Amino acid sequence: MELQFLGTGAGMPSKERNTTAIVLNMLEERGTMWLFDCGEATQHRILHTPIKPRKIDKIFITHLHGDHIFGLPGLLGSRSFLGGTEPLTIYGPAGIREWVETTIRLSGTHLTYPLHIEEVDEGIVFDDEQFTVRAAWLSHVIPCLGYRIEQKPIAGALQVEKARALGIPKGPLLGQLKRGEDVTLPNGQVVRSADVVLPPKDGATLTILGDTKYCKAAILLAQHADLVVHEATFDAETTHLAAQYGHATNIEAARVAQEAGAKHLILTHISARFVGEQVTKLQQQAASVFAQTYIAHDFAAYRLHDGNVTILTK
């Protein structure tokens, strides 16, 4: 899985940071992409990436503040212009259906694909054979969700050369072994799937939090996650403002990752007051609490594989 940040700013766009939007690229895993929040001008950011809007089949909205949803109408409309025909589902708190449907209706926006909108509460909001997505209410000035994406165990790889050495020819028998089925050859020899297929691997766990103060729900969503994305609108010197506006500091975000036993932390939703060396200081302060801390920038991309995070683009 790859995570690409399209907007990493707080409140309103700045020259360096657009408003919140994060794409989870799962083309390798399921042939689609998921979008988390859709701040103003998200589709403009997409134009500078290989991301294709028609490949986005799920959008998870954390809350209804404008810097997290004002890009939705334009993106939904453009997805039609760009040949999108596959269904799209939006998940979010109460009010998201009314806002999207009213905007589409009043603007006369024509969609060429089925649009489903699910207003969700705490608990499992999506589940299939590959992934489970859980939500919980965070602590912000309006209702705001955090999401935990859990990948289910990944089937082990078929050791093709080992299977061939045991007499399995190319063709459907290899597929049977891959599916966990034992195979009997014409000579009566039985080749066991367990002998040529590696054991399943644990899937990845990713936590993407909306705007929030330091809170227990964030820690629970981040429990033993491979990667946590947490807002850091303020720093250690502006802690009093963080609590007042329902946001977190970089230090509080690091505490969440530390107390949750997470592996990696990416800070986003960075106030425009932090530029240049101040951003470096934000990272260093947080890293003094939780060493594996990164600061997200617009267009930064990270790969999550086998519990490790690789920076693809800074």
Same domain, 180 and 212: no
Check whether 269 is labelled as a binding-site residue: yes
> In terms of domains, do 274 and 174 share one?
no
Residue 140 sits in the same domain as residue 274: yes
Q: Which of 106-110, 176-180, 263-267 has the lowest mean pLDDT?
A: 176-180
CATH of residue 306's domain is: 3.60.15.10
Final residue before a domain boundary, out of 196, 220, 248: 196
Is 140 known to sit in a ligand binding site?
yes
pLDDT at residue number 179? 86
109 in the same domain as 227: yes
Percentage of the chain beyond pLDDT 90 is 82
Q: Which of 176, 196, 216 is the last residue of a domain?
A: 196
Question: Are the C-beta atoms of residues 212 and 141 closer than 8 Å to each other?
Answer: no
Instruction: Indicate whether 62 pLDDT > 80.
Output: yes
Residues 30, 106 within the same domain: yes
Domain count of the fold of the chain: 2
pLDDT higher than 80, residue 314: no
- Please check whether residues 83 and 109 belong to one and the same domain: yes
For residues 238 and 135, state if they share a domain.
yes
pLDDT (mean) for 136-158:
95
Q: Which of 196, 222, 249 is the last residue of a domain?
A: 196
The per-residue pLDDT for range 66-99, each reduced to its tens digit, is 999 999 999 999 999 999 999 999 999 999 999 9
User: Minimal CA–CA distance to 29: which of 106, 159, 131?
Assistant: 131
Confidence of residue 155 (pLDDT cuts 50, 70, 90): confident
pLDDT of amino acid 67: 98
Give the active site residue among 37, 57, 67, 226: 67
Domain span at residue 82 reads 2-154+203-313
pLDDT in tens, 268-309: 999 999 999 999 999 999 999 999 999 999 999 999 998 899
pLDDT surpasses 90 at 27: yes
Q: Are residues 23 and 122 in the same domain?
A: yes
Q: Is 110 annotated as a binding residue?
A: no
Residue that is written with structure tokens 């103003």 in the block: 40
> By the 8 A CB rule, do 21 and 38 touch?
yes
Angstrom distance (rounded) from CA 108 to CA 168: 59
Confirm or deny that 63 is annotated as ligand binding: yes
Annotated catalytic residue 202? no
264 is in an annotated binding site: no
Quick one: 261 and 176 in the same domain? Answer: no
Binning pLDDT at 50, 70 and 90, where does residue 216 land? very high
**116-120, 171-175, 264-268: the lowest-pLDDT one:** 171-175
| Judgement on whether residues 31 and 88 belong to the same structural domain of the protein | yes
Strands of the chain, DSSP E? 2-7, 21-26, 32-38, 56-60, 88-92, 115-119, 123-127, 131-137, 145-151, 183-184, 190-191, 205-209, 227-231, 265-268, 293-295, 301-305, 308-313
pLDDT at 68: 98
What's the confidence (pLDDT) of residue 141?
A: 97
Do residue 44 and residue 170 come from a single domain?
no
175 and 267 housed in the same domain? no
